C-alpha cells in the first residue's frame, strides 16, 4: 500500500478561497487499491511552508508527493516540469514577506526537475477531456519555493519518492468576481485532474516520450 | 574597449523573417565609447547552433554575449532569467529534428541562471517607454538550447563573460498576416531595446534589486 | 420535422484545414427525433459567401441556421451575440479582397442580434463539460459579414427562422504547428458543441436569463 | 473655440482607483489653440451614469465627447468602434444592480457606431510609440451602456457632436497587486493617449481608411 501526500495552499493575496486547497481537501480519505491519500494544507509563507512540508514528508514517508497551487490566469491544469533556485516575489506572502532575487538554498543546484511522469499525467488528463499541459515555469513565488524545497528534501532523504507540483486555474466564482474575466475551471474538473495525477503517478514507473515543450 | 557579441536566429518553422535577426543585423557596426558590437546569425538547429556559437565565442573573446530569439505571441521584450537542461520540441527545427525530453548536456546542471544585470536592463527599457519584463522560462526549443549551451560554454571557459538571452515579439507585418492577431512590436522599438540591453550590460556591474518575478 | 442548416467555411489565409468545416461535415446526415441537418460549405469570400448562404436558405427553408467559423486564438466555443454592419479586413479573403471600413448593407441597421437561445446553448455546453461562452464580437472579417448577411436575409424573409453564428478554436494539429502556442480544442469536443447547439436551438423557444456578458 | 468633454468613471468592483478617472482628471484645465477641455467623473451605475452624462452634454454643448473607462486585462489603449443595445452584467455595478440581457433603449437601434476618427486616433497614438488599437466591443457592462447612451443622446440632439469611448488598461500598481499578472500601462502613457485622442478628434474631419479590424 503506497502513501500519497497531497498538499494545497491556504488562500493568499487577500483572497477568500484557494482552488488548490478546495480541490485537495475534496480528496481527503480517498484511497485506491494500492494507495491511500493524505491531505494537508500549507501556509502561503516563504520558508515556513517548506519547513511544514518537510515535516509532513518525514512523518508520513509518502511514496508520492504532489503539491498543488493556484495559477490565476492560466486556463489549464499545469503540471510543472522544473523548480528554480530563486525567490522573487511580485506580491507579499501571507506573513508580509517579499524576497527579491534570493536563492532558496545558497548551496543548492540552480534547479530541480520533477521526477513525476508528467507527460503521462497530462496525456491521461487529456484523454479524460480535461484541459492540461506541461508547464516550463512554476514562477518565483511561494509555489516555486515549495516545489524547489520539496525536490531538495526528497533528494536529501535518499528515499525513492516521486514528487512534483501542479498549478490549477481559478474557480468560476473567482473569475466571475473579477473585471478582467480570467479563464477558470470547475472544481469538479480540477478534482478529477488531481485524481488522475495521483493514479498516474502511482502506476507509471517510466514516463512516456511525447512532446510537451514550448518554443519559448 | 569591450567586445559585445550579439546573435539572432535565422527564420524558422517556415517563416520568411525572424525579428530577432532583423533587430540584431540593424546593429552591425555599432560601437560605443567603450565597446564595439559584433553581429552574427545562428541556424535554428539543435546542436549545430551551439557549436556555431561556441566557435564565435572562442574566436571573438567577447565580454558580453546576448543571444536574441523570437517569441511569437509575447507582447514585450523578455529578458530571460534561466536556461534549463532539456530539449522538448513541439515543432521541427530547421534540420527537421524534434528531440523530446532529452538532456542538452548529460552531465550538466539542471539549469543555469544568466549573469546579465536583467533587472537593470528591464528597468532601463521601461524608462525609455519600451515594454519589457523578466521572463522565467525560455521554453524548451532551440532558444533555450542555445541559452543553456552559451552559459555552459562560458562557465567552462573560466573567463569573465556576461551572457544571456532575450526574446522579442513578432513584428507587426508578421502579426498582421496571421488570423489569430497576436501582439507585436515595431522593429525600431525592438532595436532600441537591444541597444539598451547592450549598454546596460556593459555598464552595470551589480544588478539592482527590484521585483521582477511571477506568482506562477 | 424541422430543418437545420449548418454551414462551415473553407480554409483561409493559406491554411490547409478549417476546424469549422471539419466539425460541420462530421454532422452530415445527422438527424434527431424532430429535426434533420443539412450541411454546406461556404467560401471565405466577402459578398460571395452571403449570396451562397442566401441561396441555401431560400432553397432549404430551414427553421434553424447556424454558421460556424474558425476563431484562431480563442480557447472556447464562442456563441456570438451580435453582428455589426462593417467590413474591415486585416487579412485578405480567398478572392484577394480586403475591404476597409465599408458597410455590409448601405441601408442596413448598425447591427443585428442573433435570435438563437445563446445563453441556453452555452449553459448546455458547459453542463456537458465543454468550454463555451457568449462572445460580444464576431470581428469584422468574413465571419461577421456572413453573420450580418444571414440575419438580414432572415429578417427580410419574414419567416420564423432562428439564426446565428458560432466561432470555434483551432484544432490541436493547427496549434501544434505554430510557434506561438495558441489554445486549441479537440475535433470531437467541437463536434459535440455543435450538436448541443443544434439540439438546444431546436428545443428552446425562450432563452434563459443568466449573465453572459463582459465588462469590456 | 471648441469644447471637449472628457469623462472618467469612479472606481468599481471594490477597487480603490480607476485609471480612466486618474488619466482624465490629469487633463483638467488643459486647452489647445482651438479647444478647451472639461473634465467630469461618472458614477459606475447603470442608468444614473447615462442621465448624468446627458445632463453634462446639455449643459456644456461640447463639440467632442470622449468617455473613458477601465478595461482590466487589455494591454493597449482600445478605441471603441461600436456600442450595442444590451446590458448584461457579469459583476454588480456600484448601486448593486446586475441587469441581464436587457435593452438599454427599448425602441433604440441595435447599435451605434462612433463618429470619432478612430483610425486616425489609433495611428497617431502608434506614431507616438503608444500601444493602441481599434476595439470591436466595449462589452456589455456600464462602459458599453454609457457609450450607447451617449451616441443616442447625441443623435437625438441633432447637433454635430463627435462622440465615442476609449478603454484603458490597468495601471502598474493595480496589476502588481494581482496574482494573475495582467498587462498594464503607465499613467503618463495613458494620459498621452487621451491627449492625442482629443487633438485628433478636434482636428480630423474625415477618418483615414486603414485596416483596423479583427478576423474574429
Q: pLDDT, tens digit, for every residue of A97-110?
A: 999 999 999 999 99
Cβ neighbors of D14 (< 8 A, separation 6 or more) are none
Place of cell 429535426: C35
Q: Could you say which of D13, D177, D179 has the minimum Cβ distance to residue A179?
A: D13
pLDDT at D210 over 90: no
Q: Which residues on C lie below 8 Å from D140 (Cβ)?
A: 136, 213-214
Find the mean pLDDT for residues B163-192: 94
pLDDT at C95: 97
Q: What are the C-alpha distances in Å from C56 to residues C60, C64, C166, D128?
A: 6, 12, 18, 49
Sign (positive/negative) of CA torsion D13, D18, D24, D28? Answer: positive
- Please check whether residue D94 touches A, CB under 8 A: no
- Contact predicate C170/B178, CB 8 Å: no
CATH class of B2-215: alpha beta
Q: Are B151 and B129 in contact (CB under 8 A)?
A: no
pLDDT band, very low/low/confident/very high, at D179 (cuts 50, 70, 90) = confident
Whether chain B has a CB inside 8 Å of the CB on A136: the answer is yes
Nearest-CA distance from A71 to chain B in Å? Answer: 6
Find out whether B122 and B133 touch, Cβ atoms under 8 Å. yes
Residue C153 has a pLDDT of 98
Assign residue B129 a region: left if phi > 0, alpha if psi is -120 to 50, beta otherwise? left
Average pLDDT, chain D: 96
Residue C12: closest C-alpha in chain B: B179
Closest in D88, D101, D210 to C100, CB measured: D210
List all residues 6 or more positions away from C144 whose beta carbon is below 8 Å from its beta carbon. Answer: C83, C84, C86, C87, C137, C138, D216
Q: With both helix axes pointing from N to C terminus, report the angle between B48-60 and B142-157 in degrees, rounded to the nearest 10.
A: 40
Q: Which residues from B are below 8 Å from A70, CB to CB? A: 216
Give the model's pLDDT for residue D19: 98
**Average pLDDT score over residue span D206-215:** 90
Residue B64, pLDDT score: 98
The mean per-residue pLDDT over the stretch A31-43 comes to 97
pLDDT tens-digit readout, A146-166: 999 999 999 999 999 999 999
- CA C37 to chain D, closest CA, distance in angstroms equals 26
What phi, psi does B135 have (nearest 5°)? -110, 140
H or E element in which residue D133 lies = strand D132-135
Strand partners, A107: none
Model confidence over B31-64: pLDDT tens digits? 999 999 999 999 999 999 999 999 999 999 999 9
> What local confidence, expressed as pLDDT, does residue C181 receive?
85
Q: Please tell me the predicted confidence (pLDDT) of residue C22.
A: 98
What digits encode the pLDDT tens for the residues D94-132?
999 999 999 999 999 999 999 999 999 999 999 999 999
Question: Is A82 in CB contact (< 8 Å) with chain B?
Answer: yes
C215 neighbourhood in chain A, CB within 8 Å = 179-181
The C-alpha cell at C110 is: 448598425
Q: Cite the DSSP H helix spans in chain D.
A: 19-25, 48-60, 118-127, 142-157, 172-176, 187-203
Q: What angle do CA D170, D171, D172 make, to 5 degrees?
A: 115
Enumerate the domain spans of chain D. Answer: 2-215
Strand partners, A112: A83
Complex-level ipTM beyond the 0.90 threshold: yes
* pLDDT attached to residue D181: 85
CA distance B94 to B72: 17
Kindly give the parts of chain C with pLDDT less than 70: none
- Which parts of chain B are beta strand (E)? 2-9, 35-42, 64-70, 77-80, 82-84, 111-113, 132-135, 162-168
Which residues, 6+ apart, have CB-to-CB distance to D130 below 8 Å? D77, D189, D192, D193, D196
Instruction: Give first-to-last CA distance, chain D, whole Å.
Output: 41
Is C26 strand, coil or helix? Answer: coil
Residue B136 at interface with chain C, using a CB cutoff of 8 Å: no
Contact D189 B131 (CB under 8 A): no
**A181 pLDDT above the threshold of 90:** no
B49 contacts chain D (CB < 8 A): no
pLDDT for A214 = 92
| Closest CB to B179 among D179, D183, D215 | D215
C-alpha angle D102-D106-D110 in degrees, rounded to nearest 5: 80
Q: Residue D211: CB partners within 8 Å, gap ≥ 6?
A: B176, C88, C89, C90, C98, C100
A84-99 pLDDT, tens per residue? 999 999 999 999 999 9
The DSSP-derived string for C165-176 is EEEEPBPHHHHH
pLDDT, tens only, B65-79 = 999 999 999 999 999
Reduced to 3 states (helix: H, G, I; strand: E, B; else coil), residue B125 is helix
For A79, residues 6+ apart whose C-beta sits below 8 A from its C-beta are A116, A118, A121, A122, A132, A133, A134, A135, A164, A166, A197
Amino acid at each position: 500500500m503506497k502513501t500519497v501526500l497531497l498538499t494545497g495552499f491556504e488562500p493568499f493575496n487577500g483572497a477568500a478561497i484557494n482552488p488548490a486547497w478546495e480541490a485537495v481537501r475534496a480528496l481527503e480519505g480517498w484511497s485506491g487499491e494500492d494507495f491511500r491519500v493524505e491531505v494537508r494544507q500549507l501556509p502561503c509563507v516563504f520558508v515556513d511552508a517548506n519547513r511544514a512540508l518537510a515535516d509532513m514528508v518525514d512523518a508520513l514517508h509518502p511514496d508520492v508527493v504532489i503539491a498543488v497551487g493556484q495559477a490565476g490566469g492560466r486556463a489549464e491544469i499545469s503540471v510543472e516540469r522544473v523548480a528554480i533556485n530563486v525567490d522573487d516575489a511580485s506580491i507579499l506572502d501571507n506573513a508580509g514577506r517579499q524576497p527579491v532575487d534570493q536563492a532558496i538554498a545558497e548551496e543548492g543546484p540552480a534547479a530541480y526537475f520533477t521526477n513525476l511522469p508528467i507527460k503521462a499525467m497530462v496525456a491521461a488528463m487529456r484523454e479524460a477531456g480535461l484541459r492540461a499541459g506541461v508547464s516550463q515555469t512554476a514562477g518565483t513565488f511561494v509555489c516555486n519555493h515549495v516545489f524547489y524545497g520539496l525536490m531538495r528534501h526528497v533528494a536529501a532523504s535518499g528515499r525513492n519518492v516521486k514528487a512534483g507540483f501542479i498549478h490549477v486555474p481559478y474557480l468560476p466564482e473567482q473569475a466571475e468576481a473579477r473585471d478582467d474575466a480570467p479563464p477558470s475551471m470547475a472544481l469538479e474538473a480540477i478534482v478529477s485532474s488531481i485524481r488522475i495525477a495521483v493514479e498516474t503517478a502511482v502506476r507509471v514507473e517510466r514516463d512516456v516520450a511525447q512532446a510537451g515543450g514550448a518554443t519559448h
